[in-house]
Amino acid sequence: MNKFIHESWLILLMGATFAVLLAGAQTSLSGRIKENQEKALNEAIGAVVSGTVTTERVKINGYDRDVFKCLDTNGKMTGWAIEGVGMGFADKIRLVIGLGPDAATISGLKVIDNIETPGLGNKIADEGPDTFAEQFPGLRAVAEIAVVKGKPDEAGNEIQAITGATISSDAVAKIVNEALGKVRAELARTGAATGK
Amino acid sequence: MANATTDLQQFKAGLFENNPVLVQLLGMCPTLAVSNSIENGLVMGAAVIFVLVMSNLITSLLRNRIQAHVRILIFTLTIATFVTIADMALKAYVFEVSKKLGPFVPLIIVNCIIICRAEVVAIKSSLRRSLADALGCGIGFTMALCILGAIRELLGAGGLTVFKDWGLAWHLDPKTFEPHAWVIMIMPPGAFLTLGIVIGVVNQYRARKAKGGA
């Protein structure tokens, strides 16, 4: 027993001290970390559904990700924001899709998390004019989105893949199609009932 | 490093003639993985400097009480604690970069540079010497990462971005640059190519210096 204490007192003491240190760091930083994550999500929602000031979480049967009903300052509905997650080229891609109040048209798309190849696949997260994500506003949410390599057909529900990053482009379209496939019926129904 | 006589020499050894990455070839995993931009290198380097300093200081402080056969356990315990703290701090203060570094921050726990410095220097040196050594090796690691990151980012992305929010960014016009981008440089093969060339240049320089000195 003495030998045990003699050999291990330092480790036990260090373990206890470090536990206190870690608890301290956790307490002082976790609020900020959570704030960062929420801020990133809220900024994304504001970007895909313009005019949004407040959001309400909605539960959609058969869809386990977050869906938000977006409202402006007067409580008037601005649209829907849907979280989508799926596998990209390197790791999971997390994004937010914005829909109009009637859930018929896409109003925007923003990728929140991705570690796709820098310079190629990570262009899915680029912002501004002529970017990949800018092709989504205006597309129909009631039909599947197709990815093409050339110039997209105006009449079709098409987007053009990023050169050299077909897998990442396809992944984004697939995430959007899957998410919309699960939520569009119910959103259209709720939107028609409450959106007016 | 055995013949370094002053704390200053110990510090400089980590930067140049004993640079952990370019001379000792330690910590290759994070070096290859996160050297695709100068910003990743800086943030990763800062995290490693913090952990290295804390680990060396604590090891040096307790060096007369640590039982030889459990020293690795104590090193790992210390390193793991401070890596966890560093990881949380990055998530709290540089959220965007910490997302890009992903799992490579928690992986500092098994970064052999840190355990090597504890074993080679801190366990048998004074507090000041250990601190000088940690700063030297940590800054040496950061420098190597930034050199590789800068080369890869310039050739692959056509410019350098360091903390976009602070306005420290310079880029060629993407429209003119993009057709000529060496995209491979920011992908994993680019890491091996750049590291090989940089180490080759460093070796050439050292060989020449050794010849001149003799």
Q: How many domains does chain A have?
A: 1
Q: Identify which of B40, B11, B53 has the alpha carbon closest to the alpha carbon of residue B144.
A: B40
A40 to chain B: which residues are within 8 Å by CB? 95
| Lowest-pLDDT range of A96-105, B109-118, B161-170 | B161-170
Q: What is the pTM of this model?
A: 0.79
The answer to the question of residue A8 being in a domain is no
Q: Is B3 a residue whose pLDDT tops 60?
A: no
User: Is the predicted pLDDT of residue B164 greater than 70, yes or no?
Assistant: no
| pLDDT per residue as tens digits for the range B50-105 | 999 999 999 999 988 888 888 899 999 999 999 999 999 999 998 888 888 878 88
Tell whether A10 is covered by a domain: no
- Please identify among residues 79-108 of chain A the ones whose CB lies closer than 8 Å to any CB of chain B: 91
Domain interval for residue A127: 45-194
Output the six-digit token pair for A105: 């048209």
According to the model, what pLDDT value does residue A77 have?
86
Residue with tokens 């931009």, as numbered in its chain: B37
Share of chain A above pLDDT 90, in %: 36
| Model confidence at A71: pLDDT above 70 | yes
In the predicted structure, residue B165 carries a pLDDT above the cut 80: no
B7 against A87, higher pLDDT: A87
Give me the interface pTM, i.e. the ipTM: 0.75
Do A71 and A51 touch, CB atoms closer than 8 A?
no
Percentage of chain B modeled with pLDDT above 70: 91
Beta bridge partners of A87: A92
Give the lowest-confidence range in A147-156, A168-177, B35-44, B187-196: A147-156
CA angle A191, A55, A62 (to 5 degrees): 55
Quote the mean pLDDT of chain B: 86
Q: Which residue has the higher pLDDT, B100 or B206?
A: B206
Which residues does chain A have within 8 Å of residue B181's beta carbon, measured at their own beta carbons?
119
Please give the pLDDT value at position A195: 47
Å from B3 to nearest chain A CA? 32
pLDDT tier at A130 (50, 70, 90 boundaries)? confident
Give the burial string for B17-33 (b: 16+ CB within 10 Å, else e).
ebbbbbbbebbeebbbb
Which pLDDT score is estimated for A196? 43
Task: Extract the tokens encoding A183.
Answer: 């939520």
Q: Is A176 inside any structural domain?
A: yes
Contacts with A38 from chain B: Cβ below 8 Å: none
- Which residue does chain B place closest to A27, by CA atoms? B88
Interface test mutation site (partner B, options A18, A37, A120, max chain B beta carbons within 10 A): A18
A29 touches chain B (CB under 8 A): yes
Quick check: is A19 in a domain? no
DSSP count for chain B of H helices, then E strands: 9, 2
User: What local confidence, expressed as pLDDT, does residue B46 receive?
Assistant: 93
Partners of A105 in the β-ladder:
A140
Does residue A32 fall inside a structural domain? no
pLDDT at A114: 86
Quick one: pLDDT at residue A21? 94
Interface of A with B in 43-82 (CB under 8 A): none
Q: Mean pLDDT across chain A, nearest whole number? A: 87
Q: What is the mean pLDDT of residues B122-127?
A: 89
Is the confidence at residue B1, as pLDDT, over 50? no
**From CA A109, how far away is CA B173, in angstroms rounded?**
25
Report the SS3 class of residue B160: strand
Whether the per-residue pLDDT at A153 is higher than 70: the answer is yes
Would an 8 Å CB–CB cutoff place A167 in contact with chain B?
no
Q: Which two tokens stand for residue A59?
A: 């539960």
Q: What gap in Å lies between CA B100 and CA B90, rounded to an integer? A: 11
Partner residues linked to A192 by β-bridges = none
